[in-house]
Amino acid sequence: MSYNSDQLSEEELEYLLSRKYEALLRKMSEEKRKRQELEAEARRREMLRMILTPKARERLANLRLVRPDLVRSIEDQLIALAMQGRIKTPITDDQLKAILEDIYSRTRRNVRIRIREK
């Protein structure tokens, strides 16, 4: 870009304005996406608040520290089942323990170590 007497040419001005406009659009779409994610997470937390008792929510929060992927999956399944009316709500801590034990028994791997001596 060249400066003629501290003025920009029309092409340079259009280029700068279009770049600024594109940056503004990107920023706005990013903010909109973040806002939508926050709203979705708030709806999710509210549904879980209705589905689970405080003790059960606390248990999932503790488990989330160790296995966040598993907790997310369990929460998704609980929300889907509650929306379909297939589970009785609210789910107590004892019921959640039973669900977690069932999942653990189905996903547990038996590890055997064999030592072969030559």
Say if 67 falls within a structural domain: yes
**pLDDT score for 110:** 75
* Geometric angle at alpha carbon 46, from 44 and 51, rounded to 5°: 90
The residue range of the domain holding 77 is: 10-107
The overall pTM is greater than 0.75: no
Per-residue pLDDT of the chain (118 residues; tens, 9 = 90+): 445 545 778 899 999 999 999 999 999 999 999 999 999 999 999 999 999 999 999 999 999 999 999 999 999 999 999 999 998 889 999 999 999 999 888 877 777 888 888 7
Domain count of the fold of the chain? 1
Say if 44 falls within a structural domain: yes
From CA 41, how far away is CA 78, in angstroms rounded? 15
* Geometric angle at alpha carbon 84, from 81 and 90, rounded to 5°: 55
From CA 89, how far away is CA 102, in angstroms rounded? 19
**pLDDT score for 5:** 44
**pLDDT score for 55:** 97
Retrieve residue 35's tokens.
């806002």
**pLDDT score for 109:** 76
Say if 3 falls within a structural domain: no
For residue 29, give the CATH number of its domain. Answer: 1.10.8.140
Retrieve residue 49's tokens.
């608040």
Say if 116 falls within a structural domain: no
Local structure of residue 52 (DSSP, 8 states): B
**pLDDT score for 6:** 56
**pLDDT score for 108:** 76
